[in-house]
Amino acid sequence: MGTTRNAPLEAWMREHGHSANSLAEAANRAVEHLTGRTGSYDGSSVRAWKSGRIRWPNQLTRQALEIVTGLSAADLGFVPRGRAHTTPAPQQEDDMKRRTLVGGGLAVAAAAAAPGTAPRRIGMADVERLQKRFTEVIASDHRRGGQPDIEQQAAALADEALNLQRAGSSTQRVRSSLYAAAAAFRSSAMWAAIDGRRYPEAQAHMREAQALAEMSGDQGIKFRIWSHAGSMYRHMGRPGDAIAANDVARGLHITRRDPLFASLGLARQAAIHGTAQDRTGAHRAVGQAQDAMTRADTNLHRPVWLLAFYDQAELDSLALSAYLSLGDYPTAEAHAHRCLAALRPHMARSRAIAQTRLAHAQLAQGDAEAAVHSAMQVPATAATQHARVSRMLSEFGATLRATASGSPVVTTWTEHTAAWRASA
């Protein structure tokens, strides 16, 4: 007797843009949350599920797939042993089993109300309330990026979104929106940790954000998390891992629907190519990012996190990073000036980073006086409290003393940094 293909699973994969390999990766991460050990699925495992060769996976596999999809094994088209494919799937399963996620910070209890009270109905208004508070976290990040309190606020919002899942009943749309919100908040916690060079914390946030994003089915937040992962590995000096993570983001079908997502993915790819000393790849990616941004429809609805930061100034900032890494200092300086001219007033953190990189590009071209003038424009708070800016300015000072020893600008810089420290 031949096997019957698992049409529900295939349909879910098509709807959510999953290949066999990407679903296997998501399931492996879910197993890690359940057991502490990464799963061993690959593309052939998923093909066996799709083809019907495996009609009823083992319990761990079923739990992992339920975490990834938010659906029961029966709803995904799997059939318990001894039942025919034509047997109607159960209409309901134990909510505790379907909703409880074990591991990390993902423990979500079943929806329950206190004895004698009616369950609360959770709606989109609850999601919107959380999203409004999220904008405050984003605003703080743009002002003071990388601070532990921003990371903690974002993580707390993620937990609050998950707690709403157990506060009452809701529709599938609301549940998906809450998972997407939790993933977005956790992704912001991840970014704050990256910006503060707290990489172990960033990786922990990343794992939780990835699992939540899979449950939400939201392509935009999946892109954000994988794109952040690429940036994290770039800052850690691991360009191979950075390219692989960013390729996952760029492979999502949202980048084909919306050129602005494609542009961000390409701009970050350029910065990674710069770290990897791939001059041709960086130059090509910058050009492609610019072309995609030109094609982007400004009237499309997009998530607040994207609209809050990605524009021409950010594209030039990433190009600045790429060319600075490559040692093409005149081109880096040109992008720095373009970035600083276009930055929106509230982007204080981005301005400090661009100003510091401009100083590096000018110093590398032998213009110590202009470089010191640029570096002195960085606010004291960023210079002393932002981990990335502090490190870049420390490196700037060391290079200045090595290349312009005895110059009055060295004295000027030394006195200025002493004033920074005194005001911190």
Pick from 116, 48, 39: which is nearest to 78 by CA?
Answer: 48
Whether the model pTM is above 0.75: no
- The tokens for 188 are 């912001």
β-pairing verdict for 168-169 and 120-121: parallel
Tell me which residue of 348, 377, 342, 372 sits closest to 360, measured CA to CA. Answer: 372
pLDDT in tens, the chain (424 residues): 457 889 989 988 887 778 888 888 888 877 776 676 778 898 889 999 998 888 889 888 888 887 777 778 888 898 886 654 443 333 333 333 333 333 333 333 333 333 444 456 778 888 888 777 777 777 766 666 667 877 888 888 888 888 887 776 778 788 888 888 889 889 989 988 998 888 899 999 999 899 888 888 889 999 999 999 999 999 999 999 999 999 999 999 999 999 999 999 999 999 999 999 999 999 999 999 999 999 999 888 888 888 888 999 999 999 999 999 999 999 999 999 999 999 988 788 899 999 999 999 999 999 999 999 999 999 888 888 888 888 899 999 999 999 888 889 999 999 988 887 776 5
CA atoms within 13 A on the CB side of 388: 26
Q: Residue 153 is encoded by which pair of tokens?
A: 């606020």
Burial class of 270 by CB neighbour count within 10 A (0 to 12, 13 to 18, 19+): buried
- Residue 422 to residue 412: CA distance in whole angstroms: 16
Domain ranges of the chain: 7-93, 94-216
**Contact at 8 Å (CB) between 161 and 181?**
yes
Tokens of 71: 């659906």
